[in-house]
Amino acid sequence: MEFVDSHTAGEPTRVILSGGPNLGAGPLAERLRRLAGGHDTFRSAVIHEPRGSDVLVGALLLQPQDPGCAAGVIYFNNAGYLGMCGHGTIGLVATLAHLGRLGPGQHRIETPVGTVRATLHDNAEISIENVPSFRLCKSVQVTVPGIGTVCGDVAWGGNWFFLVDGAPVDLTPANSHKLTEYAWSIRRALQQQNITGAEGAEIDHIEISAPSAGADSRNFVLCPGKAYDRSPCGTGTSAKLACLAADGKLAPGQTWRQEGILGTVFTGCYRVPDGSGGRIVPSITGRAYVTAKGYLLLQPEDPFRDGIRL
C-alpha cells in the first residue's frame, strides 16, 4: 500500500494512496459501510502496531462520487471509523499538494458525512469549511463516579462531542494521563446514563476547555480509541464554534483562536447559511507538514500482518 504521512498542528495523518480494498462506486457513506463490514483488517493493518500507533488517523483516498470534487476520503483510527476529520482533511490537502495533484485555490472533498470545501492558500495554510455544525443540548449534567456531576454541551462538528468548560488540572502534556482518565470517565458515564447525540448516536469525543494566555481557549480532546488529539481538533473546534454561536458569544465571521494541548493553534470562524435551522458552517484554518512517504508491506506469513490489537 502506497502512503504519505503528515502532521497537522502535531496530529498525524496517514493517507493511503493505493493498494486499499476495492469498495466499488456509490456514496462515501455506503463505501464506508462496505469497508467496515468486509475489510476491517485493512484499517487494523494501517493503524495498529507494528506499522502505526494509537494516535494515528488514516485516510483512504477514493474516487469521489461527485465529479466536481477533487477527492473522496474515508477516515479511520484505532477504534473504528470517523464521519469527518478536520486535521485529517488539512493533512489530505497538504499531501495532494505535495504530490502535485492540487494547486492553490478552493477544492471540494467528499466525505461520508458530506462535502467539505478546502482552500489551499498561497502561504501553504489550509482552510476547511466543514459540514454544518450545531449544538444539540446545552448544560447537560452527567454523574461521573469518583468525580461528581460534570456539566457540558452536546454538539455535532462532524463527530459527536461532549464539551466541558473547566479542567481538573492544567491542560498540558505533562497531565495527559490524568486528563485522559478524566475524559474517559465522562465518556463511560455518558454511555451508562444513555446520554447521546441525535437519533441515539454515541458521543465518542470528549472536549475539555480552559482559558489560554495566547489564544481564545485551550483544549484537550479525547478521541474514540482513548488517544488524545495533539492538535486543537478540527471537528472539535467546529463543535465549539457551534456552541459559541448558539450562546451569542461569537458573531458570524468573527475569529476564534483555538489552542491545543501542544500549544498549536487553529483559527476558526463561521457563517450562517440560508435556512440554517440553528446550524452554522464553520471554517478552520491550520497548517500541515508532510513527514514521510513509502509503502506498507503485508507479508502473508507475518503473524502481525493485520496489526497488533492490544
When the pLDDT of each residue in the chain is averaged and rounded to a whole number, the result is: 96
pLDDT at 250: 98
Q: Give the pLDDT mean for 256-260.
A: 98
Over the stretch 102-157, which tens digit does the pLDDT of each residue have? Answer: 999 999 999 999 999 999 999 999 999 999 999 999 999 999 999 999 999 999 99
Contact 28, 72 (CB under 8 A): yes
Of the residues 69, 223, 233, 243, only one is catalytic, namely 233
Q: Give the pLDDT mean for 188-204.
A: 97
pTM of the model: 0.94
pLDDT at 276: 78
d(CA 218, CA 172): 10
Written as nine digits, the cell of 192 is: 451508562
> Could you tell me the pLDDT band of residue 274, with boundaries at 50, 70 and 90?
confident
- What are the Cα distances from residue 88, in Å, to 74, 249, 286? 10, 28, 11
Tell me whether residue 85 is one of the annotated catalytic residues: yes
Of the residues 69, 85, 223, 243, only one is catalytic, namely 85
d(CA 228, CA 260): 10
pLDDT at 128: 96
pLDDT at 64: 97
Domains of the chain: 2-125+290-295 (3.10.310.10), 134-281 (3.10.310.10)
Residue 172 has pLDDT above 90, yes or no: yes
HEC letters along the chain? CEEEEEEECCEEEEEEEECCCCCCCCCHHHHHHHHHHHCHHHHHHHHCECCCCCCCEEEEEECCCCCCCCEEEEEECCCCEECCCHHHHHHHHHHHHHCCCCCCEEEEEEECCEEEEEEECCCCCEEEECCCEEEEEEEEEEEECCCEEEEEEEEECCCEEEEEECCCCCCCHHHHHHHHHHHHHHHHHHHHCCCCCHHHCCCCEEEEEECCCCCCEEEEEECCCCCECCCCCHHHHHHHHHHHHHCCCCCCCCCEEEECCCCCEEEEEEECCCCCCCCEEEEEEECEEEEEEEECCCCCCCCCCCCECC
The separation between the first and the last C-alpha atoms of the chain, rounded to the nearest angstrom, is 23
Residue 278 has pLDDT above 90, yes or no: no
Q: What percent of the chain has pLDDT over 70?
A: 100
Chain centroid offset of residue 130 CA: 11
pLDDT at 24: 96
Tell me whether residue 243 is one of the annotated catalytic residues: no
Within a 13 Å sphere around the CA of 221, how many CA atoms are in the beta-carbon half? 33
CA angle 296, 230, 288 (to 5 degrees): 65
d(CA 200, CA 143): 19
Q: Give the pLDDT mean for 250-267.
A: 98
d(CA 59, CA 82): 10
Over the stretch 85-105, which tens digit does the pLDDT of each residue have? Answer: 999 999 999 999 999 999 999
Over the stretch 204-244, which tens digit does the pLDDT of each residue have? Answer: 999 999 999 999 999 999 999 999 999 999 999 999 999 99
